[in-house]
Amino acid sequence: MMALVDYGNSSSSESDETENKAPAPISLKRPALPAAVSLLGSKITKPAEDEEQEDDFDNSELHGGRIRSFKHERGNWATFVYMPVLACAEQLEDFQIEAIKRLSPDLELRANESLHLSLSKTVVLQYHQIDEFHRSLQQALHSCVGFNSTLNLLRVYTNEERTRTFLAVQLDAAYGTKMSALLRPVDLVMRDYRLAQFYDNPSFHVSLLWCVGDQQLLLQDKLQELQQLLEDHETLKLAVRELRCKCGNKDFIFKLKL
């Protein structure tokens, strides 16, 4: 995942890998997110993979031309905490398709493959730290409460290097306090492990589309038109029921209280 920043404002947001070059547009059909499991903090592990990442992990040609913000080394596991977007995923996928059509050929936009809202930057863990880190998150989040919310306004972001530009939809400001309550225990765990905490003034959002380079001005010019397109859809409901931590090829699920 990539650290995104909106240079027109002071707030920062999502944790993504720093990526640079881009290939031909990717398919909008993406695999479903891992199914939720019943136990707090359960983990889903992909088979046939050990603790060492594959040799081609940093080959940008195999990752849509994207380049990581830190060099991969064997034994290092890229890790971040996020909330999957499930309830309104189909609506957002429809918006992605229409937005790409409307802005072509002026701008070559690509759809984000996994719709989620980040609650941490991408950090690096050693393999032997993974289980302990998982237990720490489990303990920190055990009393956290889920809630219903909505997404509303579109906003333009860039990554820190300004090599990519993103179009994202923000969490309704009315739910910012509740989302911040989920962020705090995550930040505490990051601090305990001497890892980077999330941004001081987070802008909670779901990245929808991206393009190569700093295209803020062009996207800002189209923002009103795209906002109207988004509002043509039904209310974008976001049910906050679980958080997940992706660590290399592992996904840990943390159920929230209702």
Which residues make beta-bridge pairs with 179?
A: none
Q: Tell me how far apart the alpha carbons of residues 258 and 110 are, in angstroms, rounded to a whole number.
A: 36
The residue type at 64: G
Domain boundaries in the chain? Answer: 4-19+36-255
The candidate with the shortest Cα–Cα distance to 92, out of 254, 196, 208, is: 208
Which of the residues 116, 128, 134, 233 is marked catalytic? 116
| Chain position carrying tokens 């109207």 | 228
Which of the residues 63, 72, 134, 205 is marked catalytic? 205
116 is catalytic: yes
Cβ neighbors of 227 (< 8 A, separation 6 or more) are 153, 154
In this predicted structure, what is the pLDDT of residue 65? Answer: 42
Backbone angles phi, psi at 155, to 5 degrees: -150, 150
Distance of CA 10 to the CA centre of its chain: 19
The bridge status of strand 4-5 relative to strand 76-84 is unpaired
What's 161's DSSP letter? T
The pTM assigned to this predicted structure is: 0.74
Q: If residue 243 lies in a helix (H) or strand (E), which one and from where to where?
A: strand 242-247
- Tens place of pLDDT per residue across the chain (258 aa): 444 444 343 333 334 443 333 444 434 444 444 443 333 344 444 433 343 333 333 444 434 445 455 565 778 999 999 999 999 999 999 999 999 999 988 899 999 989 999 999 999 999 999 999 999 999 999 999 999 999 999 999 998 899 999 999 999 999 999 999 999 999 999 999 999 999 999 999 999 999 999 999 999 999 999 999 999 989 999 999 999 999 999 999 999 998
CB atoms within 10 A of CB 108: 15
233 is catalytic: no
The residue type at 235: T
Check whether domain 4-19+36-255 has CATH 3.90.1140.10, yes or no: yes
Backbone angles phi, psi at 82, to 5 degrees: -155, 170
In this predicted structure, what is the pLDDT of residue 123? Answer: 97
In this predicted structure, what is the pLDDT of residue 74? Answer: 76
Long-range Cβ contact pairs of 46-53 (< 8 A, separation 24 or more):
46/249, 46/250, 49/249, 51/75, 51/77, 51/127, 51/248, 52/127, 53/77, 53/248
In this predicted structure, what is the pLDDT of residue 105? Answer: 84
CA 157, 141, 192, 131 dihedral sign is negative
